[in-house]
Amino acid sequence: MAAYKDSLLARIFKARYFAKADPFSATLGSRPSYAWRSIHSAQRLMRQGARVVIGNSHHNNVWQEQWVECKPARGVQKTNLSLGQNEGLVSSDMKVAELLIEGTREWNRLLLERLFPQDEVEQIEKIRPGGTLSDDVYGWEYTKTGLYNVKSDYWVQKNVLEGNIAQVQVSQLSIDSLYQAIWQTKTSSKIQHFLWKCLSNSLPTAENMTHRHIAKDASCPRCDSGPELENHLLFQCPYARFIWTLSPI
């Protein structure tokens, strides 16, 4: 569906399940069909290996889309500009095409160096855009051809995802020390209480409100691209990511 956006299947599923998002960030929704439930169950796996292959780059967001080459692919995560230095150079809906010299396939190196740290510039310059006559398409990172196949999918599942889960289970530490650190932090009691609620999953996020039968929609009210969990609210939401990117922290 990500590669063939104009197909009948993609148009039907988009209208029904992810009208304001994409297959990689769409929620399960209410009363999903068996087909969509099956597709959605593979969402995490597909996010691990899918990457936008840049063509004319007019529709891909610099911060949100998975276009920077690494495994898994990601958007740009850092910038040199603080909120006070923004000067209209960047925005939350900035497109990849704005980083190119107009009418060419060449990156605007002066702009890249002004906006991003050197490590991000080097990652971006490894990418060769297809040009104004080619569309952005999705490729699969774990095959030489860039085409998805079941064999590589199975390899990713067994060696990447399950391997990471096993490593986390072995190395995960108790969070008791984090609770202690919260109350020892020299700040206001209001901030301490907020941090405690974050760590305890007690914030009134849409997901929590839905779980308690107070609300019916668990999706993020700002971006509508996924359930509003605490991690999404504070770090993964495009608006939150944009603020962190511009933050001097």
Say yes or no to pLDDT of 169 above 50: no
What is the reported pTM? 0.58
| Pairing assessment for the beta strands 137-140 and 50-53 based on DSSP bridges | antiparallel
- Looking at the structure of the chain, the number of domains it has is 2
Is 156 part of any domain?
A: yes
Residues 6+ apart with CB under 8 A from 111: 99
The number of beta carbons lying within 10 Å of the beta carbon of residue 136 is 20
Is 14 part of any domain?
A: no
Cβ contact 96:130 at 8 Å: no
The number of beta carbons lying within 10 Å of the beta carbon of residue 142 is 18
Choosing from 102, 137, 162, the residue where a domain stops is: 162
Verify that 148 and 221 share a domain, yes or no: no
Cβ contact 238:64 at 8 Å: yes
Model pLDDT for residues 107-161, shown as the tens digit of each residue: 999 999 988 989 999 999 999 888 878 888 888 888 888 888 888 888 888 887 7
Verify that 155 and 232 share a domain, yes or no: no
Is 23 part of any domain?
A: no
Give the separation between CA 196 and CA 137, rounded to whole angstroms.
Answer: 42
Give the separation between CA 220 and CA 148, rounded to whole angstroms.
Answer: 30
Residue range(s) defining the domain that contains residue 69: 42-162
- Residue 194: its pLDDT value, please? 92
